[in-house]
Structure 1
Amino acid sequence: METPRKKADGSTTRTTTTKQAGDAAEGAALAHLQGQGLRLLTRNYRTPGRGGGEIDLVMREPGGTLVFVEVRQRASRDFGGAAASVSHFKQRRIIFAARHYLMRLPQQPPCRFDVVSVEPGGIQWLRGAFDAS
């Protein structure tokens, strides 16, 4: 939902919510990865219950590797930018969700954890941004 905001001259303008900005960044990341040949399997995979984790995009490379993707969006590159905002705690939650996702499969394919950062100036795809060890 857009939120009206008063400008200095008294008129109003609409601002984009954080959710809308996040959804747009996720859509841009998805289009970028699909353009690189990856196929979407699941979007916004969540583990059941509280305290679990979420994976923004679960994709498969043409060679069969399963790719768990965290999408991060920032308005500036200050403080290391979007990719630097994937903390150790956030990585643990993504890994937890990935393990839950993999339990449903009959056999475990090769896997990787990537981060796609969406910032002013473009999209950056970091393959193998972190691992499950």
Structure 2
Amino acid sequence: MNQHLLNPPFSNRRSKGQHYEQQARCFLEQQGLLFVCANYHCRQGELDLIMRERDTLVFIEVRFRASRDYGGALSSVTPAKQHKIRHTARYYLMSQHINEAHQACRFDIVSYDDGQCSWLKNAF
């Protein structure tokens, strides 16, 4: 495969993030998930993707690392980052008037290391 397609040039960090979030969205839609929202922002933080798999609302963190030299993309989702994502997800549910006690939710990670895509369901 063309290396340029796996690691295209980016003008800035934001464009790189948007590229991999779009890649993750397409991948997850091919797996049967339905798109709900991208780049949800609030004071608590940001959710990269929100999707639905049957009755479950799925909050997805998308991570990219050019190499695995420092532990890779998965290891970059630290306990502090997980806490922030959970807190932001609770705020999202509240803002949408969704009762979290009655809505099944899970947290997934889609990671890209060295051009390889991995999907970790129920990551935390």
Structure 1 and Structure 2 fold alike (TM over 0.5) = yes
Aligned-residue sequence identity (percent) comes to 46
Relative to structure 1, the CA distance from residue 17 to residue 93 in structure 2 (aligned partners, 3 Å threshold; closer, same or farther) is same
Report the TM-score when normalising by structure 1: 0.79
Query: Is 1:60 aligned to residue 55 of structure 2?
Result: no
Q: Which amino acid aligns with 1:116?
A: V
Please report the RMSD computed on the Cα atoms of aligned residues, expressed in angstroms: 1.5
Give the number of the structure with larger relative contact order, counting CA–CA contacts within 8 Å between residues 6 or more apart: 2
1:5-16 to 2 correspondence within 5 Å? 16=11
Unaligned residue ranges in structure 2 (runs of 5+): 1-8
Unaligned residue ranges in structure 1 (runs of 5+): 1-13
State the number of aligned residues.
Answer: 113
Query: What CA deviation, in whole Å up to 9, does each residue of 1:68-114 have, x standing for no partner?
Result: 00000111112221011011111111011100111123433100000
Relative to structure 1, the CA distance from residue 65 to residue 15 in structure 2 (aligned partners, 3 Å threshold; closer, same or farther) is closer
Q: Does the 8 Å contact 2:73/2:111 carry over to 1?
A: yes
Report the TM-score when normalising by structure 2: 0.84
- Structure with the largest fraction of helix: 2
1:70-81 to 2 correspondence within 5 Å? 70-81=61-72
Whose radius of gyration is greater, 1 or 2? 1
CA distance in 1, matches of 2:63, 2:33: 18
Q: Does the 8 Å contact 2:66/2:115 carry over to 1?
A: no
CA distance in 2, matches of 1:76, 1:93: 25
